[in-house]
Amino acid sequence: MFSAVGASFLPYVNHSCDQFENENLCTTHVETNPLLAERPPSWALFSETTRPIVGDAPERFGLFGTDTNGYDLFSRTMFGARNSLLIGALSILFGILIGGILGLVAGYMGKRVDKVIDTIMNIFLAFPALLLAIFIVGFFDSSTTTEAKSRSIAPIVIALVILSIPPIARLVRANTIVFAQREFVLAARGLGAKNGRIIVREILPNVMPAMVTFAITGMAILVVAEGALAYLGLSVTAPTPTWGAMIFGGQTKLETAWWISIMPSIILFVTVLAINLLGDALSEKFRIREAIG
């Protein structure tokens, strides 16, 4: 299958501008992305008349072959990384920010504040995660059912942030409770430090390792979750798709063109595996016990 690896790069470079009517666009593109994606993911390789109905196999074209539109699958997968990873990173970033604050406050304040926050988190957890995400994404589709929908990454990120807040808040809360009882916190309070300062200067640095580790594993989970949303037909509808959308798009072509789904699947798997390995190594380093539930 990969016998064409070496050769596959040559035709790209040789006549990479032939297909494009606007040569400026092409040169700019090749200059800005010299190695990774030699073809813009949304431009077809073939003219309307010669474009194959079902994609070309990897043996015959490029690294990954082409999809049903004749787009280069390798380029699309590379560009898909932008969307998939951006969605994952943004979601976990906001999730950590909001969930972290909630967890710190709940764990440090205890008592009534803790109970209120914990109950709210329990309510969110009670909803089936994916259904909640679907509902949130669907909520932002303000059009009625029949219109064709275009969707940016914003609603997806919002949905994933909401999904990620409760587990993060729980983890941070559990860690905060442990440190809030330690003597250095007592000492800081004895010196007259205010609550805000104690949380930020004394507790946060100690909770940080657990947060960072969880953030990494969480990002893998969210990249997968975005794929699941796409698999159910709910993800961004930009010209460059996410991996999930690509896997979903090739589902009906498994019999005739397996690579359309399988290639992005493999890339997604390897990415998730890599992120998980990193998270695992970190959690071993910091000796974090996995929070149950």
Partner 1 sequence: MRYFLRKLLQLVIVVFAVTFTVSLALGAIPYAEERIIAAKGSGAINEEEKNKLLDSLNLREPTLVQYGYFVGDLVTLDWGVTLNGNQPISTSISDGLGISLRLMIYGQLVALLIAIPAAVFAAYRSGGLFDRFSTTVSFGFISTPNYVLATILGLLFTVRWKLFPAISTDVGFFEAPWDHFRNFFLPTIVLALPLAGAYMRLLRSDLVNTLQSDFITTARAKGVSTPRILFGHALRPSLFSLVTAAAVNVGALVGGSVVVETAFNLNGLGRRTVLGIFASEFRLVQITVVILALVYVITNFLVDILYGFLDPRVRVGRLG
Interface residues with partner 1 (CB under 8 A) are: 119, 122-123, 125-131, 134-135, 138-139, 141-146, 174, 177, 220, 224, 227-228, 231-233, 244, 247-248, 251, 254-255, 258, 261-262, 265, 268-269, 272-273, 276-277, 280, 292-293
Q: Which is nearer to partner 1, 12 or 248 (CB)?
A: 248
The secondary structure of 172-241, three-state, reads: HHHHHHHHHCCHHHHHHHHCCCCHHHHHHHHHHHHHHHHHHHHHHHHHHHHHHHHHHHHHCCCCCCCCCC
The secondary structure of 43-56, three-state, reads: CCCCCCCCCCCCCC
Q: Which is nearer to partner 1, 66 or 283 (CB)?
A: 283
What does 246-258 look like in DSSP terms, one character per residue?
HHHHTGGGTTT-T
Q: Which is nearer to partner 1, 4 or 130 (CB)?
A: 130
Residues 260 and 15: their CA atoms lie apart, in Å, by 24
Residues 3 and 44: their CA atoms lie apart, in Å, by 24
Please name every residue paired with 146 in a beta bridge, in sequence order, or none if there are none: none
Closest distance of CB 269 from partner 1, Å? 6
Residues 131 and 149: their CA atoms lie apart, in Å, by 19
Closest distance of CB 170 from partner 1, Å? 10
* DSSP at 70: S
Q: Which is nearer to partner 1, 26 or 260 (CB)?
A: 260
Q: Which is nearer to partner 1, 127 or 184 (CB)?
A: 127
Closest distance of CB 224 from partner 1, Å? 4
Closest distance of CB 1 from partner 1, Å? 14
Closest distance of CB 84 from partner 1, Å? 11
Q: Which is nearer to partner 1, 218 or 227 (CB)?
A: 227
The helix/strand/coil state of 153 is helix
Closest distance of CB 217 from partner 1, Å? 10
Q: Which is nearer to partner 1, 30 or 165 (CB)?
A: 165
CA atoms within 13 A on the CB side of 153: 22
Residues 170 and 173: their CA atoms lie apart, in Å, by 5
Closest distance of CB 161 from partner 1, Å? 18
